[in-house]
Structure 1
Amino acid sequence: MKSVRVNKTENFDQEVAKAVETGKPVFVLFFGTETPETSESWCPDCVIADPLVRQAIIPIKDAILIEAPVGDRNEWKGNTTHTYRVRFGVPAIPTLFKWSAAGPGEKLVEEECADKEKLAKFVGN
């Protein structure tokens, strides 16, 4: 599995397009940005889901995981105009999408991202 981090929303389209062009399976994970104090996401659900999402995707041949942090808590919580909410309908974090040339497809949201069975079915294991 290759992972690509998109730290700025304005770079998102370019990075995702590059990944999709490869023809390989592309997954996009939206999550809360890590805090400097802990180096973990401010979002407790994201902290739980992150290693499980990675474990599920690793066996997928040539998969690409796009890591898309949504910012700090104040940037995300209650902000209905956040770029990722508006453009891609990200309802909550963590959210994991399958992505193709047509854009975002199926998704898992919040606790679904930490459900091993749902993850395995979602990624095609």
Structure 2
Amino acid sequence: MPMEQLLVQSLDELTTQIDTACQKGRRVYLYFSGSTDLTTGDSWSPECCQCEGVLEQAMKGTKEEDLFLMVEIGDQNEWNDANNKYRTHPLYQVKQLPTLLSLSF
């Protein structure tokens, strides 16, 4: 059975999910991606779209108790802002998209 997968659309929601996973001792994978373009159903970032197949293959090697959080960082204008909350966050410091982080508790 594959790991649980959730879409996260805010920093507060991300913090809550990580705190809950930490209390349960779960490994958490954070995938930072450009937000979904509602007209196409895909990320506005071509690099994020290209990465989907690789992610699907990599997720096959995870454990059921692991947690995968897809974090939508906003639209292209939000991402290009040097003060983007995910760029400046002391833990995440996202420098490019897509970014995959693994956290163990």
Q: Structure 1 length as normaliser, TM-score? A: 0.73
Alignment partner of 1:56 is 2:67: no
Asked whether the equivalents of residues 33 and 98 of structure 2 are also in contact (C-alpha less than 8 Å), the reply is yes
Q: Percent identity?
A: 27
Q: CA deviation at 1:24?
A: 2.5
Superposed counterparts of 1:25-40, under 5 Å: 25-40=27-42
Alpha-carbon distance in 1 for matches of 2:77, 2:37: 12
Extract unaligned runs of 5+ from structure 2. Answer: none
> What's the TM-score, normalizing by structure 2?
0.86
Shift >3 Å, 4+ stretches: none
Partner of 2:78: 75
RMSD, aligned α-carbons: 1.3
SS of 1:89's equivalent in the other structure is coil
Instruction: Give, in whole Å, the separation in 2 of the partners of 1:51 and 1:22.
Output: 29
Structure in which a larger fraction of residues adopt helix: 1
Q: Structure 1 regions of 5+ residues with no counterpart?
A: 102-125
Could you tell me whether the CA contact under 8 Å between 1:34 and 1:40 is conserved in 2? Answer: yes
Paired positions, count = 100
Q: Larger relative contact order (C-alpha < 8 A, sep ≥ 6)?
A: 2
